[in-house]
Structure 1
Amino acid sequence: MLTINVGVLLAVIVLLRLRRRTEARSRNDEKLTVIIVLALGVVIAPTPLGEGIGDFLGQLASGITDSSR
């Protein structure tokens, strides 16, 4: 039986959509890409990878804030 990870499928779709030239995209096409990226974020967020990315971004933001003082 073949199983497909939804996160991997969405990531592949995002990569394929972003490879296209910017001039060839309509507004609706861009909106659909944003919706797919948001869905990918929701799928990845509760996973250990998503938590690691969130921790990294939090530390990065904290480091930037601390360095500006």
Structure 2
Amino acid sequence: SGPCQGFFMALLGTSEPRDLFVPTCTKEGRYEEVQCYAGECWCLDTSGKEVPGSRVQGEHPSTQNHRMA
């Protein structure tokens, strides 16, 4: 299980409202390079942090335009 899967499992155990962002994970438990929520998409680096300047509305950002750390 990787960092994304751990975060996902922690969210499942909360009693918070279910309108929270839930990340998309790879089979290996890491974060997918592109995440989307509420009509916006953005790129993540390898640690799961948002790549500055990558957030766009209504479309998928090109991860090729943003360096992955």
TM-score (norm 2): 0.28
- Greater strand proportion: 2
Structure with the higher helix share, 1 or 2: 1
Q: Indicate the structure (1 or 2) with the bigger Cα radius of gyration.
A: 1
What TM-score results when the alignment is normalised by the length of structure 1?
A: 0.28
